[in-house]
Structures are given as structure tokens and as C-alpha cells.
């Protein structure tokens, strides 16, 4: 099914998405497939330095930005649970006069309707693309309402901008005050995701329509925790819709995807997006497996169900409990129906992580009569442990501990153990490290643009939830909670969206590109042990995992310099990809002629530098950048470079002097391969830092540098050139 994309047709030039039309109609600019997308599924703010023991210090970005007052944050997701305390409007003033949105809900049921207030100021749903895919009968299974029946949208929106709610917890775990990144901001919910169809919940036609509405309504920031497989930008509804939003001053923050840890899995790769990976924070929910030999293995869980203390149960592998009609692979993963009730009854069953949902494995053990679940990582997921609200006593252990557990089980005829109740542990180390599920670079659409851009907390995030689903989100779960703990780049995305809202409140004249630059150039790449950030196997992570690094909101408030980007820059970028005027018209209304000599894609004024096609012969390659002074005046910055292995890097000029705030300076970065010091086709990493001196108030404007030497130049984009 194809849908019309018309540009410059309604809302004074804003984006419009319409139903099926004649592709030859003169008002049709572009017709493209209605692709499906997937949803990418409160200690974090203290971990990010915005508060300390519940106190907000004067240097916190919260205090400086007045918690995001005056800003409007929208969310493209599964809707909203308006009764959640995170969306209370107690004590809030009138809705901003510039707001043009609506609270539109045509549900015939009073229970399904969404009523807005002075906090939740907008609620709309978009389902024509979904209905066109599943048919009207299929769409009828999902009530036409902005009310969130899934929980994902409520969780993400409250993470971005939920109000302070004391006593938040899940089954008593993580107890404290819940709050979003910009708790003083207003919020609007745009429901674009529905009951899954063939693995997709959110469709391009609905996504584009929601972007259109958000632009018209007057949002400042959009949090978009969804995405599809990487594809050319002119075929991607998120890329197209977000381009128009960014051109109209809306910062769009997206999730990187949950397809890691494989290379080249990152989605939402367009350079006008802020693409967020997921990493851990310094809070865990440890639940111990105590073995018959008295050894203890630490895992994580949020299961509220206890086993009788000090009573040991037989430990068996899920393969030992295989049902007669199941395969070994199915039993190993504890797929539904793969376990024999006679073999599993009364035992703790050890299952392997992978394929089906972690909580589904617990339900499979529970239905087979097992009393407990041990979920063991495979080698790819390494040391990443995720606390889930299992329906039975359970713990999730690392790969290395899984190997040790297997050795114990093979050493005795009657392996036994019991699982302790979880507790809440703070200030754990190391943190952050990258989540195994977080999708990674390189960018397979435009390798000249590093993606993801940034990483933020995305593991075991506690936030508001729907009243229509249990904490596992599965049909068998009849439990209901006010707050839920979830993990994914869907959870890290709204953290950065909230921070973007604070920056917009603090610097209302900044463009989306300037806000992104401030976030990217002020990051850290060390954990709380002062070692380089690692991946889930505790090996050193790279910018393909974390982008520019781990977000530091307080530093982002005063970045010193920003890499700004305007419409002309993006036009030159699209021209460099070989897009013709017809394709560019999908993104830009008005004059869009390419220059006679288009610039290279890597010359886009981006806060990171990636050169994926450096000649092995030593031939130089130069990229240009420009920075604007947003700090003190006058100011002088000197550059320092940590060169990638086997590559020489020179920056000219090496000193930038600014006479006034707002002044811009351009510089060039030249790369050369060093003979015999590189592996052809291998990516290597370095960094470039502009600094204005020493002392506590100095600025360090840091950009990751990524280079690949000796690879053949390829381009995924194939479009006719005018």
C-alpha cells in the first residue's frame, strides 16, 4: 500500500500525509511504501548529576532551566495513560497561548477517552496507515483512542517530562520519587502504534501524519522511540517527517534500536535526528542463586514471588526438561510448550537467553510446573543483566556465571539451589556500560555520519505505566502496577528528549542542530571507575556503540561552541547523496537546486567526524567544519587531537579566536594514512577536542573521529540524478 506525501499543501507549508491517491495527480510530490516500524522497548537523573540525594543544586540544569517551564514535548508512541500521577496538573499555570493542538478522542466509551489538562495538553491518534495494512476489521481490534493499552507510550512520555511523584516503585523495588527529564514542561501524546501486525506496530502514513500535527501544534521537542530497518531516507517515514519537523525548529530525538550487539544494526540514521543508544546506570536489583555447594551467583530480577528461605530445589537445564515433541533448540530457549511438566515440576529450570521474550521463558517454566527460573546469557549478551518482573522466582545471570553454573551442574548428580528475593542496590560499578541489545554502527545508509549520536540510561528504567496491561506486557499477566521497569533504547531516547527540552527552555533561540551539538560535545566516555566505557562483555566500547559518549546534561547547558546546521547544509547533504530535485522535493519545498559542485557527505557540519573511505596510498582527505561561540566573549580555543591508529590528523587553523558571542569560525581537518600502520577496511577511532583553557569553567568541545582506511567506496543510495 502506498500513501501520498504532499509538501507545502497545508498548515502554511507544513508536512501533510494523506490517503491513497493517484500518483500522477499534479499535487503529488512523492509516493512511497507505507513501511511498518517497531517500538524500541528513577535513579537515572541522579546518575546523570542533576540531583544529589533528592536535592537540586544551583548548578543543575534543572535549576537553570526551571525544570523545562514553557517548553512543550511531544511523544510519538502507543498513547498515554492520563490518570498517571506523572501527568497531574496540580499547581500548573495556564496552557501556553502559542499551543494550537487539541485533545481529540472519538472513543465511544467513557473509560477509553483521554481527557487533557494543563500538563497533558494534547492527545491525538493516527491509524489510517495501520487500517490500510490490517483492514478495517483488524483495526477494530484496537480501539480508536489515544489511551495507552500497551504501556510503552506512558513509560516514555513520563520519562521525558513526567512530574515529581513520590513513593514510586515496582513491587517495592526502586522506591523513590519518579520524575521526567523536564518535569515542568507540557506534554502531548501522538498515538501512532497499535496492536502488532507481522512484527510492526507503527506505520509510515500514521507517523508522517503525527509529525505534521506536532509541527502545526507547536511542540518544541519530539521523542520518537520507534524505528524500522535502516533504509534510504526518501523511503523512511521517520526520516521524512522528522526532516520537516527539524526545519520548523522541532528537535527530534529517536531510539537507535534494540538489534545489538551486531555491527551495522543502528536505525534512525538520518543526520537531522538525535539517535540514542542505551547503557546502564549505577542501580541494580540483585537476586542470588545459592547453590548446593554454598556458592552464590549474583543475578538480577524484579520478581516479587519468594521461595521458602533456605529450602533447596533440584536444578535442571531446560534441555533436560524437553517435551517429547519439542526440539532441543526450543527447549534450550524455554519456548512456550517446549518443556515437559513431569520433568520440570518442582524444579528450578535453567534457560538460555535469546529469541523469545525473557518473561515468556519464565511463563513457560511456570506453566510446566517449575518453581523457579535461572536465565543465563549467551556469549553475545555477556555481562548484561536485566531485571524483569517475572511471574515466578527468577534471576538473570551473566554468560560467565552461566558457564560456572553449568560446570557445577555437570559435577554432581543432584544439583540444587534456591533463589533469593531481589533487593535494590545503588552506586554499583562499573556504570555505565553499553547494553548488549543497543544497536550499533557503522551507519549502513550514510557511513559518513556516525550513528548512534549519544548514549543514555536505558536499562531497568522505572516510569509510569498503563492500567490496561501487566508489567510483563503479555496476555497471561493479570497484575496491574502504577510504575514499571523497562529496558531498551526506547527508554534512553526520552531521557535525551527531556534534556533537549531543558536546553530549549534555557536557550530558546537555539536550533535543533545546536541543541544536538551541545548534547554530543559535552559527553563522557569513562565509567564510574574512571576507566573507558565498556560493552556488555566488559571489553572496551567504541563510538559505534555510544556515539559521542554518555550524556552529561549539566555540561550541555554551557557547551562553549556549537556545530550548527541550516537548511542549506541539509540541501547540500542530500545533493551529495545523489538525490535529484524530485526526491529532494520530498524533504524541501521551494528552491532545491543542487550546486554545480556538490560537497561531500562528510562535509555536513556534524559534531562528529567520520571518514569511511581514506586512501591507503597516503592521499590526503580533508573535511571542513564550522563552530559558533555560544560562551563568553572574547574567547580563544586551541585544538588537541588523539589520532586514530595508523592515521595522521591535522587541523587548520589549530587556534580559533572569537571576538564576540555568536561569531562563527571554520576549520579544516586533513587525514592521511600512515604506511604499514593500519589494517585495510578496519575502522579506527580517535577524538578532537577544542578547549578554551584550564580551570573549572573551561569548555572542552569534544568530537569523536572515526576513520576506515583502504575500503572500496560504495553507496547504498541509488536514485536518478537530474
Nearest-angstrom CA–CA distance, 361 and 616: 50
Per the residue annotation, which of 17, 30, 44, 77 is the catalytic one?
A: 77
The strand pairing partners of 708, in sequence order, are 683
Nearest-angstrom CA–CA distance, 450 and 469: 37
Nearest-angstrom CA–CA distance, 308 and 325: 33
H-run or E-run covering 36: strand 36-39
Nearest-angstrom CA–CA distance, 522 and 549: 8
Going by their DSSP bridges, the two strands 120-125 and 186-191 should be labelled as: parallel
Nearest-angstrom CA–CA distance, 84 and 547: 34
Q: Residue with C-alpha cell 535469546? A: 354
- The set of long-range contacts for 317-323, using a CB threshold of 8 Å and a minimum separation of 24, is 317/349, 317/350, 317/406, 317/409, 318/349, 318/350, 318/351, 318/352, 318/365, 321/347, 321/349, 321/368, 321/370
- Cell representation of residue 186: 507540557
Q: Outline where 38-178 has alpha helix (H).
A: 44-47, 61-64, 128-139, 152-161
The CA radius of gyration of the chain, in Å to the nearest whole number, is 26
CA 335 to chain centre: 28
CA 7 to chain centre: 28
H-run or E-run covering 645: none
At residue 362, φ and ψ (nearest 5 deg) are: -65, -40
- Cell representation of residue 722: 537530474
Per the residue annotation, which of 17, 242, 301, 490 is the catalytic one?
A: 490
- Which string of DSSP letters, residue by residue, matches 247-299? HTT-EEEEE--S-TTSTT------TTSEEEEEE--SEE-EEEEEETTS-EEEE
Q: How many CB atoms lie within 10 A of CB 489?
A: 33
**Is 104 designated active site?**
no
Q: Outline where 350-488 has alpha helix (H).
A: 358-367, 399-411
The string over 9-45, giving b where at least 16 C-beta atoms fall within 10 Å of a residue's C-beta and e elsewhere, is: beeeebbbbbeeeeeeeeeebbbbebbbbbbbbbbbb
Per the residue annotation, which of 37, 40, 152, 244 is the catalytic one?
A: 152
Q: Helix 237-247 crosses helix 567-576 at what angle (to 10 degrees)?
A: 150
Nearest to 347 by CA among 323, 329, 333, 366: 366
Going by their DSSP bridges, the two strands 283-284 and 286-291 should be labelled as: unpaired
**Is 242 designated active site?**
no
**Is 77 designated active site?**
yes
CA of 83: how far to CAs of 187, 464, 480, in Å?
A: 14, 10, 14
Catalytic residue ranges: 77, 152, 490
Amino acid at each position: 500500500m502506498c500513501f501520498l506525501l504532499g509538501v507545502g499543501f497545508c498548515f502554511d507549508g507544513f508536512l501533510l500525509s494523506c490517503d491513497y491517491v493517484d500518483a500522477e495527480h499534479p499535487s503529488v510530490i512523492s509516493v512511497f511504501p507505507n513501511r511498518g516500524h517497531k517500538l524500541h522497548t528513577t535513579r537515572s537523573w541522579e546518575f546523570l548529576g542533576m540531583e544529589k540525594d533528592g536535592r537540586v543544586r544551583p548548578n543543575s540544569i534543572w535549576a537553570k532551566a526551571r525544570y523545562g517551564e514553557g517548553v512543550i514535548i511531544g511523544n510519538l508512541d502507543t498513547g498515554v495513560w492520563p490518570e498517571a500521577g506523572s501527568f497531574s496538573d496540580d499547581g500548573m499555570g495556564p496552557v501556553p497561548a502559542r499551543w494550537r493542538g487539541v485533545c481529540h478522542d472519538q472513543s465511544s466509551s467513557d473509560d477509553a477517552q483521554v481527557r487533557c489538562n494543563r500538563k497533558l495538553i494534547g492527545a491525538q491518534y493516527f491509524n489510517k496507515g495501520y487500517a490500510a495494512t490490517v483492514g478495517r476489521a483488524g483495526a477494530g481490534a484496537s480501539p480508536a483512542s489515544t489511551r495507552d493499552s500497551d504501556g510503552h507510550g506512558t513509560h516514555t512520555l513520563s520519562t521525558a517530562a513526567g512530574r515529581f511523584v513520590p513513593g514510586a516503585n515496582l513491587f517495592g523495588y526502586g522506591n523513590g520519587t519518579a520524575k521526567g527529564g523536564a518535569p515542568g514542561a507540557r506534554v502531548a501524546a501522538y498515538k501512532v502504534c497499535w496492536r502488532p501486525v507481522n512484527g510492526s506496530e507503527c506505520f509510515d502514513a500514521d507517523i508522517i501524519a503525527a509529525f505534521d500535527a506536532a509541527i502545526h501544534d507547536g511542540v518544541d521537542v519530539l521523542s520518537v522511540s520507534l524505528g524500522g530497518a535502516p533504509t534510504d531516507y526518501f523511503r523512511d517515514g521517520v526520516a521524512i517527517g522528522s526532516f520537516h519537523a527539524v526545519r520548523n525548529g522541532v528537535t527530534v530525538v529517536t531510539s537507535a534500536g534494540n538489534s545489538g550487539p551486531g555491527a551495522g544494526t543502528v536505525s534512525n540514521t538520518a543526520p537531522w535526528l538525535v539517535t540514542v543508544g542505551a547503557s546502564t546506570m549505577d542501580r541494580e536489583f540483585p537476586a542470588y542463586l545459592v547453590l548446593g555447594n554454598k556458592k552464590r551467583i549474583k543475578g538480577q530480577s524484579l520478581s516479587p514471588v519468594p521461595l521458602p528461605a533456605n529450602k533447596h530445589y533440584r536444578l535442571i537445564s531446560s534441555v533436560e526438561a524437553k517435551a517429547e515433541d519439542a526440539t532441543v533448540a526450543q527447549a534450550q530457549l524455554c519456548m512456550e510448550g517446549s518443556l515437559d511438566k513431569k520433568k520440570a515440576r518442582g524444579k528450578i529450570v535453567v534457560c538460555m537467553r535469546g529469541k523469545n521474550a525473557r518473561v515468556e521463558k519464565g511463563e513457560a517454566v511456570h506453566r510446566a510446573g517449575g518453581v523457579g527460573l535461572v536465565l543465563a546469557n549467551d556469549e553475545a549478551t555477556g555481562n548484561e543483566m536485566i531485571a524483569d518482573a517475572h511471574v515466578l522466582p527468577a534471576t538473570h545471570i551473566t554468560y560467565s556465571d552461566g558457564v560456572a553454573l553449568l560446570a557445577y551442574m555437570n559435577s554432581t548428580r543432584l544439583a540444587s539451589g534456591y533463589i533469593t528475593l531481589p533487593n535494590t542496590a545503588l552506586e554499583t560499578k562499573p556504570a555505565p556500560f553499553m547494553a548488549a541489545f543497543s544497536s550499533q554502527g557503522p551507519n549502513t545508509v550514510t557511513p559518513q555520519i556516525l550513528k548512534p549520536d549519544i548514549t543514555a540510561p536505558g536499562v531497568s528504567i522505572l516510569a509510569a505505566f498503563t492500567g490496561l496491561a501487566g508489567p510483563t506486557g503479555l496476555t497471561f499477566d493479570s497484575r496491574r502496577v502504577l510504575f514499571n521497569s523497562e529496558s531498551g533504547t526506547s527508554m534512553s531516547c526520552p531521557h535525551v528528549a527531556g534534556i533537549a527540552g531543558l536546553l530549549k527552555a534555557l536557550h530558546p533561540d537555539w536550533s535543533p542542530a545546536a541543541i544536538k551539538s551541545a548534547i554530543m560535545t559535552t559527553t563522557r566516555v569513562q565509567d564510574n571507575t574512571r576507566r573507558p566505557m565498556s560493552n556488555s562483555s566488559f571489553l572496551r566500547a567504541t563510538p559505534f556503540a555510544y556515539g559521542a559518549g554518555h550524556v552529561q546534561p549539566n555540561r550541555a547547558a554551557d557547551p562553549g561552541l556549537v556545530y550548527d546546521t541550516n537548511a542549506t547544509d541539509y540541501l547540500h547533504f542530500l545533493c551529495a547523496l545523489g538525490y535529484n530535485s524530485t526526491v529532494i522535493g520530498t524533504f524541501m519545498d521551494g528552491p532545491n537546486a543542487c550546486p554545480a559542485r556538490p560537497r561531500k557527505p562528510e562535509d555536513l557540519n556534524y559534531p562528529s567526524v567520520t571518514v569511511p573511505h581514506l586512501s591507503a596510498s597516503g592521499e590526503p582527505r580533508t573535511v571542513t567544519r564550522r563552530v559558533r561561540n555560544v560562551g563568553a566573549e572574547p574567547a580563544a580555543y586551541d585544538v588537541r587531537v588523539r589520532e586514530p591508529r595508523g592515521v595522521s590528523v591535522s587541523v587548520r587553523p589549530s587556534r580559533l579566536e572569537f571576538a564576540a558571542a555568536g561569531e562563527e569560525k571554520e576549520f579544516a581537518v586533513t587525514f592521511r594514512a600512515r604506511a604499514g600502520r593500519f589494517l585495510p577496511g578496519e575502522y579506527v577511532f580517535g577524538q578532537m577536542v577544542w578547549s578554551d583553557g584550564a580551570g573549572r569553567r573551561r569548555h572542552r568541545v569534544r568530537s569523536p573521529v572515526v576513520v576506515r582506511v583502504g575500503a572500496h567506496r560504495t553507496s547504498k543510495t541509488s536514485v536518478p540524478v537530474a
